[in-house]
Amino acid sequence: MNFINTLIEDVFVIEPDKKGDERGWFMRTFDKDLFKKNISSFDSNWVQINQSYNKNKHTWRGFHYQKYPFGETKVVRCIAGSVLDCVLDLRESSETYLQTLQIELSSLNSKMIYIPTGCAHGYLTLEENSELIYLHDEFYNPDYESGVKFNDRKISFSLPLYPKVISNRDCNYSDL
């Protein structure tokens, strides 16, 4: 696995090593020792795995996070189709506070993104029938879920196009 630093503190793009032959391919998507070796802040124990299916191209989901004390670290991978995956740093003590990151995740490139506690996550689907799988180190707690509008004026963020599908919840988060 190749762990690539990003412009946001403690956010990593992870490129698994695919081993292939005439039968197809195999790749490891998690190795606790490699994560510890390459991510100094890593101390997660995955407690929940979620999957998201998106029927329509240009669907926006996000920016989602859970508030303290139920903040969660995530690893996200696209297993079908492709998405523009987005991270927003909400850690006030971070040097990258309110900065954003965008990276394409797809079933073809197999890239993953490591998102630490204190960052919000969202994505825009680039294809119909896109699916993502998430590893979480905290259980979902609906009383602590929150989000940030993708067009909040306090963040410098823009998508390549306005989403065609977006939930009322994602449109109506309070301004930061």
Residue 112 is predicted with a pLDDT of 98
% of the chain surpassing 90 pLDDT: 98
Active site residue 64: yes
> The CATH number of the domain where 103 resides is what?
2.60.120.10
Q: Which two tokens stand for residue 22?
A: 């005439």
Residue 29 is predicted with a pLDDT of 95
| pTM confidence score | 0.95
Q: Active site residue: 68, 114, 123, 134, which one?
A: 134
Q: Active site residue: 64, 65, 114, 136, which one?
A: 64
Residue 123 lies in a domain: yes
Q: Which residues contact 79 (CB under 8 A, 6 or more apart)?
A: 51, 107, 131, 132, 133
Q: By the 8 A CB rule, do 77 and 135 touch? A: no
Handedness of CA 169, 167, 157, 13 (dihedral sign): positive
| Average pLDDT of the residues in 100-121 | 98
Residue 141 lies in a domain: yes
Residue 39 lies in a domain: no
**For the chain, how far is it from start to end, CA to CA, in angstroms?**
36
Domain extent for 150: 45-171
Chain centroid to CA 108: 17
What pLDDT digit, counting tens, does each position of 63-82 carry?
999 999 999 999 999 999 99
Q: How far apart are CA 78 and CA 113, in angstroms?
A: 10
Provide the number of structural domains found in the chain.
1
How high is the mean pLDDT of the chain? 96
Q: Which residues contact 140 (CB under 8 A, 6 or more apart)?
A: 48, 50, 66
| Strand 48-54 to 130-136 pairing | antiparallel
| Average pLDDT of the residues in 8-35 | 96
